[in-house]
C-alpha cells in the first residue's frame, strides 16, 4: 500500500514515517509539510492513501482533500488532526474524506485505519448534532467567554462578574455539554469564529 503523508510537525512526521516504513505492506511514497503540495504528490505518485493534517504551513488540509477527491476519487484520504473541533469532522466529511482520526490515537490504531482505508465505507468520529451556536449561549455565557478570551482564570472571572466560583464552573461545564467541546481554548475559538465575542 502506497502512502503520502502531509504533516507539518517534524517530530510527528518523522515518527510516522519510521513507523510506516517498518510495515512490510506500507510504502511511504512522499512526505510534505504543506497541504498545498498534496494534489501534485497524488498526481505524481498515485498513492492508495493520503494522510492529511488539517492545518499545515501552506494550505488547508480539508480544502485540499476536496480537490484530491474531485480529481483522484480512487485515492483514499485520512484526515488526522490534533484540533478536537466537531466542525472539522463535518467539513472533512463534506469534502469527501474517507476517514477522520484525532492525533491522540496510537500508532497501531493508525496502521489499522490505513490498512482498512480501501474498504468501501467511511469512518468518522461521532459528533454532537449541529445547531447554531449563538442559540446556545446566554448573556452570562458571552461575558464569561470574553473573559476567557482575555486569559482569565475561573476565580478571576467569578470576581469580575460578582458570581461564585462554583457558578462560573457550572456555566463553563454547560457550554462544554451544549457544544461537545472539551477545552476553554476551543470554546473561545468557537465564539470568535461565530462572531459571539
> Do 24 and 70 reside in the same domain of the chain?
yes
> Does 149 fall in a domain?
yes
**Domains identified in the chain, total number:** 2
Residue 45's domain comprises 2-115
> Do 87 and 139 reside in the same domain of the chain?
no
DSSP state of 146: H
What local confidence, expressed as pLDDT, does residue 135 receive?
Answer: 45
Name the grid cell of 151: 486569559
pLDDT along the chain (197 residues), means of 10: 94 91 92 96 97 91 96 96 83 92 85 83 70 65 92 92 90 81 82 80
Distance CA(5)–CA(111), nearest Å, equals: 13
Please state, as a whole number, how many other Cβ atoms lie within 10 Å of the Cβ of residue 67.
17
Q: What are φ and ψ of residue 83, in 5° steps?
A: -90, 105
Pair 99, 124: CB distance under 8 Å: yes
DSSP state of 129: P
What local confidence, expressed as pLDDT, does residue 77 receive?
Answer: 97
> Do 146 and 105 reside in the same domain of the chain?
no
pTM for the model: 0.65
> Do 104 and 142 reside in the same domain of the chain?
no
Distance CA(194)–CA(110), nearest Å, equals: 32
Amino acid at each position: 500500500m502506497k502512502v503520502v503523508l502531509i504533516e507539518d510537525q517534524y517530530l510527528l512526521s518523522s515518527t510516522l514515517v519510521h513507523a510506516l516504513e517498518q510495515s512490510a505492506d506500507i510504502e511511504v511514497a512522499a512526505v510534505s509539510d504543506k497541504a498545498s503540495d498534496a494534489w501534485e504528490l497524488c498526481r505524481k505518485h498515485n498513492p492508495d492513501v493520503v494522510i492529511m493534517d488539517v492545518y499545515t504551513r501552506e494550505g488547508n488540509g480539508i480544502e485540499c482533500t476536496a480537490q484530491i477527491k474531485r480529481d483522484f476519487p480512487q485515492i483514499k484520504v485520512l484526515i488526522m488532526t490534533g484540533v478536537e473541533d466537531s466542525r472539522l469532522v463535518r467539513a472533512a466529511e463534506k469534502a469527501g474524506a474517507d476517514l477522520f482520526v484525532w492525533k491522540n490515537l496510537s500508532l497501531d490504531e493508525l496502521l489499522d485505519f490505513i490498512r482498512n482505508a480501501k474498504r468501501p465505507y467511511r469512518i468518522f468520529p461521532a459528533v454532537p448534532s449541529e445547531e447554531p451556536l449563538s442559540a446556545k449561549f446566554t448573556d452570562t455565557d458571552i461575558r464569561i467567554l470574553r473573559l476567557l478570551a482575555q486569559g482569565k482564570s475561573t476565580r478571576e472571572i467569578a470576581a469580575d462578574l460578582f458570581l461564585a466560583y462554583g457558578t462560573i464552573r457550572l456555566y463553563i461545564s454547560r457550554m462544554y455539554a451544549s457544544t461537545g467541546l472539551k477545552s476553554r481554548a476551543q470554546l473561545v475559538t468557537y465564539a470568535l469564529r461565530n462572531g459571539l465575542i
